[in-house]
Amino acid sequence: MEKHIQTFLNKISYLAITIATLTLILVFLFQPPPETCINPKLNPNHKPHPKSSCDAAHRHLTTIHNKNHRLWSTNTWRKSVDSFSAIFRDLQTLKHISNLTHALILSAGGGQAVMSLKEIGLHDVTGVELVDSPPLVSRADPHNLPFFDRVFDLGFSANLDQALFPSRYVRELERTVRVGGVVVVCVEVCENGGVMEVLKLFRRSEFSQARNVTLMGSKMTMIITRRIESIS
């Protein structure tokens, strides 16, 4: 091969290596920040850095611990955990949940419902909210959950009333709950007509039953549905 062609080829391969390296560096630098600290069941579209917000959480563990200790020992906290426990025991009696149920709580707030389910004996409870409250609640947008399809046995929300886009919110709940699992929402107390309105948001679940419950001092209607295959 002629010498100048050889030199030219060498230059091209150096260039290729440089470009590849730069690309790698750029990809590394511009990886999106993590969505949540939750690792299992993560949607591949949301790639978390194992180190970052979770590590930060560890750094602040003592402060979090103290803060939580104060919060969790208040009467208000205890009362609201207990009011969730009452309705979850209902679900237990109705055989909708057991200790082995993988539960998702949407719009989990400070984590009262999460704590309640854990106290009842569930081993795997995931709580998400727009603002995280470690260690009970991770950050995620309820309209765009970072979980694979059908990974939970129970999807629960007591805040559908406050959802910005209720149909999208319900769609995400249904998407992440397995066929045969239950999706339960508590809404402002309503008559049968109101229940029908809420059920219109459900495209992949069939109505199981409605019950009036008291949650944190407010009368609410709990609507229980069972996840079925999509109706196309």
Where on the chain is the footprint of ligand NAG (CB under 6 A)?
A: 99, 121, 189, 191, 210-212, 221
> Distance (Å, rounded) from C-alpha 57 to C-alpha 188?
35
Token pair 């929300």 in the structure block, residue = 157
Which residue, 145 or 210, has its beta carbon nearer to ligand NAG? 210
Question: Buried b vs exposed e over 22-32: b needs ≥16 C-beta within 10 Å?
Answer: eeeeeeeeeee
Task: Report the Cα–Cα distance between both ends of the chain, in Å, rounded.
Answer: 64
Q: Which uninterrupted H or E stretch holds 155?
A: strand 152-157
- CB closer to ligand NAG out of 119 and 149: 119
Smallest gap from Cβ 94 to ligand NAG, in A, equals 14
By beta carbon distance, the residue nearest ligand NAG is 121
Considering beta carbons, is residue 101 or 205 the nearer one to ligand NAG? 101
Report in angstroms how near the CB of residue 26 gets to ligand NAG at its nearest: 49
Q: Smallest distance from the beta carbon of 202 to ligand NAG, in angstroms? A: 17
Taking each continuous run of H as one helix and of E as one strand, the counts in the chain are 7, 7
Q: How far is it, in rounded angstroms, from Cα 81 to Cα 64?
A: 19
Nearer to ligand NAG, 33 or 193 (CB): 193
Smallest separation (angstroms) from ligand NAG to the CB of 114: 15
Name which of 50 and 217 has its Cβ closer to ligand NAG: 217
Q: How far is CA 77 from CA 59, 71, 124, 199, 207, in A?
A: 25, 7, 21, 31, 31
Return the structure tokens found at 134: 């470690």
* Minimum CB–partner distance for residue 73 and ligand NAG (Å): 21
Tell me, letter by letter, the H, E, C secondary structure of 53-74: HHHHHHHCHHHHHHHHHHHHCC
85 versus 176: smaller Cβ distance to ligand NAG? 85
- Of the CA atoms within 13 Å of residue 106, those in its CB half-sphere come to 33
Residue 208 C-beta: closest distance to ligand NAG, Å: 12
